[in-house]
Structure 1
Amino acid sequence: MVDFARLPIPVVPYTPVCRSGSGISVMSLEDLLEKVPQTLLSSPHRLGFHEILLVTEGTGMFSIDSTRIECGPGSLLWVRPNQIVQGAPQPGMKGEVILFTEAFPLRMQATVGILDDVLRPSFWQLTESELGQFGRIMDLLRDEFRGIELELGEHMLQHLLSVVLLTVTRICRDRQDYRLAHHEIDHRELELFQRFRLDLDRSFHRTRRVEYYATALNCTSHALSRACRTVIGTSAKGVIDARVALEARRLLAHTRLPIGAVARQLGFTEVSNFTKFFIRLVQMTPGAFRRVHGVNFDG
């Protein structure tokens, strides 16, 4: 199995600015672009931390795990640790950026879900009302970050970051991208779903059978699929397929493994079955996907 940590894709470490030792940084996009070499930004790289970007002016193109995103005013992006990202902001692009480590946020309710779940949405185009609300929270967060009170200031920043994360969760809920935070959801189902996601990240390259995960989680396949439908509106099989498809896109776009080797890495015994799977999930062949992403290698 390919270990992405060993791929020649640089990992950008978290480097706090202004507040030494703090697990959060808040800055303008312009300030961030001055610190990041353009060659790194435009090349595939990974972050060792979370980055939330709110675009306020201008346009640019970003790619998160091979999904290309055109951004403009009101665009909100959330890049999670170890997602493969590229950026091409155009001159004049402005925005607000929050960087934070996995350990910094307060312990959140189960309704917020797993913060580093790579299957959660990474992009939203905010409505005028959403943008106004998010902007007000950003103003408070920015002002507190620039303050001089360190001890209480850190607690304030943690709480304000919680408001940011809860606001994103509510946006997901309202758009039915992610059903978290509905009061009707049984927390036992949320816990089951979260355990499933963690297990899936460890085992998706070995099996795509719902029964395997249900047995490992000591529940029935029906109960597991019900939990998935309650939380994100799709079956357990749909969640498994989405995770495998994500890894397939990563391998095809960022390695030079032959397509047959990619198929084997993901547990497919026949390349034809992998090709059918990929077409169903991505709507193009693996070879066409590689060509779209500039990988001229169809071995």
Structure 2
Amino acid sequence: MITNAEAYLKEYKGLIDRALVKKIEAIQTTQKLKEAMLYSVKAGGKRLRPILLMAVVETLGKDPMLGLDPGCSLEMLHTYSLIHDDLPAMDDDDLRRGMPTNHIVFGEATAILAGDGLLTQAFECLAQASGLTNDQKIELIQLLANASGPEGMVAGQSDDLESEDQKLSIEDLERIHRRKTGRLLEYAVEAGAVIAHCDDQVRHHLKMYARHLGIAFQIKDDLLDVEGDAAVIGKPIGSDAEKGKNTYPSLLTVEGAKAQLKEHFEKALRSLRLAGLQVGILDELARYIIVRDH
């Protein structure tokens, strides 16, 4: 059955895919570097982060197209993180979304540079975003740098690598994933609030919605690594356990992880109610995250 979220994701994914390719193809750089950047951008993905950003803008009564450039910026940065995460020095993955990873196709050096290129291009894209004031751009740049840098996603990846083959508490695992996975999802929602000029109280509750959504997203990923279909998720099942990674199922059992998934989902929806927002696409996207198969 096609849900509202699936239809919404499909429509906006096409819009974002086209905009991303157009922006990267316009870059004046060496052909191999551009090919490597485009390879990972075109490798698929749900585009959940930029779609969440645009959905928040729309939910708050503004034109969702105001979120397109910031959304493309966010997806460039997210794609850089995936390229670097897959490198031999990091997670050492050969497959991403069922395709050879960037370093397998282009070599490690070019993969690193492709990631670097996407990271820096993300901030240029954000600085040039159309329809936003300079004050909004400055705030978004600061928020994105904080969410993705040494206080956010990068710290989460560092902690994740250091914790391999160590037994973590569930509190430690959640702290890692709030940074590694959750901070960019939080940024997506908070950026939508900045673009829509919403008040501080609504913005706070939206941020709490995103925080619980980020943990739910990671728990679902961990469950798919145990129960998913390798042909659908695009990587071997059980790869996390093979690498000695701490996951929610490994610490809580599969049933315990599912209980935590449900709890964070319900807390995310409660935060939307506290924000005074009507049931709509943000509810649907949260439901999609917990029932998706990839």
Report the TM-score when normalising by structure 1.
0.32
**Which one has the bigger strand percentage?**
1
User: Higher RCO, 1 or 2 (CA under 8 Å, sep at least 6)?
Assistant: 2
Q: Which has the larger radius of gyration?
A: 1
